[in-house]
A and B are shown apart, each in its own frame.
Chain A
Amino acid sequence: MKRFFKILKLILASLLTVYSVVIIYMLAFSSKEDRYTFASHLQGACLSQSMFEILKFQDPSNDRIYFEQSVPYNKRGYYEKGFRLLDKAVEIDPKMHLGYRGYMKLRFLRDFKGALEDLDRLDSLTPGVVDTPWGEDIDFLRGEAYFGLENYEKSKFYFKRSIENQGEDWADIQAFVYTGLSELELGNREQAKNHFDKALNQSKYTVEAHIGLARIYLENAELKKSKFHLDKAEEYFSYKRNDPYNEYLNEVYKDDLSLLKNFEA
């Protein structure tokens, strides 16, 4: 009986040891790529961050680890930590990460000058290439940054260049909208109208363009046309441009419609 218990204890102790060794192996010694993927999928969890720390210790020159580790910090408002990590990724591979950092400065921090510095630097590192930071045309992002700085001549210039880069049929519809808004700020109503119309030619659901046109027609005292676009904006409101993380600079709200309706009345 004693022998039986002893064997049982040895088996149990061995199983527990194997269990611990397997977990330690998976966390610290299995394929780096597999661990990177696993940690990325657990974005934000403490385990994910701990695994990135282990990976950084083992592979300190891998820019992707710093980049991926930065993401949840920035999404949750811990910019000091998030950008320290992102800065490290940029330091290791500027061509790969400058665009994303510029995008983050633009959309998450509204640091328009900082965004332009990163985007311009990226452009200078990639001559002859139209960069697409985080999937968006670099000139669109530059246009948005100048729009944020209220430099409407420059924002217009870059949005138009973005449309040229992509071709009218493939350009981001919001590039037409932003060009229209920039023209409006510069007092060029006809050009603004022209660009809002172009946005609507691309898609009749462009709520922002309908609101822009409603505003122009209201200012021109063309109330019928203004009402038409206001009604369309209301009808298609669910198609408005929004983002779960941040408010866009040209984001429209139901209040914008109410305000225009009050003016019409």
Chain B
Amino acid sequence: MKSKTNIFLLISAVLAVVITGWVYYQMSHSIGELSSNTEIDGDFKVCDEDKIPNYYSMDTDYEGGKKAIKNELLSNLQNLKFEDSGLITFRFIVNCEGEIGRFRIQSTDLKLEKIEIDSEKLKTLEYALVSLKKWNPAKNEFNSYDSYYVLNFKIRDNRVVDIF
């Protein structure tokens, strides 16, 4: 009887801990979080790993907007040829100091099915992004913050035709 009481207590405690841990994890994490990988991210640092909002909630932007990004990059990417039409979407972090890194890439065709793009071409796009130096990090009246940003390279007729 004594052991039955202990087993009941043990099982109920374990269940409560597991459920609480699961709910806590689920509440404190959201889709699209990019974890650090030093092999591909180099020495890129964020200011607060636990607090990285999305660009649309913090007005993260590039000086002159996406139009300026397009003006800076598009003409230099015209020699890059692609097989499929679609989108190459970069999700990355603009850190509190206006540096960018932790690039993660999704490539989709016109039906939004995942497609493979030659890694060298993706590297070229990433280098082009790294060359952008006029980022305005997320900020409010108190501080500057890290934030996630999304940028799309639109592919049509085998080349990049738009960046937005």
Please give the residue numbers on chain A whose beta carbons come within 8 Å of chain B beta carbons, in ascending order.
6, 9-10, 12-14, 16-17, 19-20, 23-24, 42, 44-47, 49-50, 72-73, 75-80, 83-84, 109-111, 114, 244-247, 251, 253-255
The reply to whether B67 and A253 contact each other, CB–CB distance below 8 Å, is yes
Contacts of A23 in B (CB 8 A): 19, 23
- 12 interchain pairs, CB-CB under 8 A: A9-B8, A10-B5, A13-B8, A16-B15, A20-B16, A45-B30, A77-B106, A77-B152, A79-B87, A79-B106, A83-B112, A244-B57
The answer to the question of B84 belonging to the interface, with a C-beta cut-off of 8 Å to chain A, is: no
Would you give the 0/1 interface string for B136-164, flagging 1 where the beta carbon is closer than 8 Å to chain A? 00000000000010101010000000101
Does B89 sit at the interface, judged by CB under 8 A? Answer: yes
Q: Min CB distance, A34 to chain B, in Å?
A: 17
Task: Pick the 10 closest A-B CB pairs, nearest first.
Answer: A47-B26, A77-B150, A16-B12, A76-B32, A244-B56, A13-B9, A247-B66, A16-B16, A46-B26, A13-B12
Per-residue interface assignment for chain B, residues 2 to 21, with 1 indicating a CB less than 8 Å from any chain A CB and 0 otherwise: 10011011011101100100
Cα of A244 to Cα of B53 in the assembled complex, Å: 13
Measured between C-beta atoms, what is the minimum distance from B49 to chain A in Å? Answer: 17
A6 touches B5 (CB 8 A): yes
A245 proximity list for chain B (CB < 8 A): 56
Q: A12's closest neighbor in chain B, by CB?
A: B9
Tell me the complex Cα distance, A93–B88, Å. 30
Residues of B with Cβ closer than 8 Å to A? 2, 5-6, 8-9, 11-13, 15-16, 19, 23, 25-27, 29-32, 54-57, 59, 64-68, 87, 89-91, 106, 108, 110, 112-114, 148, 150, 152, 154, 162, 164
> Which residues of B have CB within 8 Å of A251?
65, 67
A45: chain B residues within 8 A (beta carbon): 26-27, 29-30
Residues of chain A within 8 A of B2, CB atoms compared: 6
Q: Provided the pairs A45-B26, A47-B26, A255-B64 are in contact, do residues A72 and B32 lie with their beta carbons within 8 angstroms?
A: yes
Given contact pairs A13-B9, A16-B15, A17-B12, A76 touches B31 in the complex (Cβ within 8 A): yes
